[in-house]
Amino acid sequence: NAGVMQNPRHLVRRRGQEARLRCSPMKGHSHVYWYRQLPEEGLKFMVYLQKENIIDESGMPKERFSAEFPKEGPSILRIQQVVRGDSAAYFCASSPLQPGQGHEKLFFGSGTQLSVL
């Protein structure tokens, strides 16, 4: 059973370009979370999605950032008009459980390191 797959592993963009980060959850998992990690800091929650639904986007910046988890295909985190401050590691995690179903643990991917020049 493959783990959470993220690609690309490294992404370099110039200021003003768009960045698309992909995440394929573990097989059987329908809950996806995106986190951002700045250097020397902990992970910060961004958004929680289920198939075709955004459940909680309270951690997402109001502008330029969007996320989706379509019925078919990976979850996408999209950053428009990137700025240098967007440079960070972006991690995706998946879970098989809905809230309240049991002891939840998150399975994380290896992340995408975004560098904005």
Bridge-based pairing state of the strands 31-37 and 19-24: unpaired
Exactly one of 21, 67, 93, 116 binds other proteins (CB under 8 A); which one?
93
Contact present, 112 and 10 (Cβ < 8 Å): yes
56 binds other proteins (CB under 8 A): yes
Could you say whether residue 58 binds other proteins (CB under 8 A)?
A: yes
- Interface with other proteins includes 95 (CB under 8 A)? yes
By CB under 8 A, residue 44 contacts other proteins: yes
The reply to whether 108 sits near other proteins by the rule CB under 8 A is: yes
CA distance 107 to 29: 10
Nearest to 79 by CA among 105, 61, 55, 57: 61
C-beta of residue 57 within 8 angstroms of C-beta of residue 67 = yes
- Contacts with other proteins by CB under 8 A lie at 4, 31, 33, 35, 37, 40-45, 47-48, 55-56, 58-59, 89, 91-93, 95, 97-111, 113
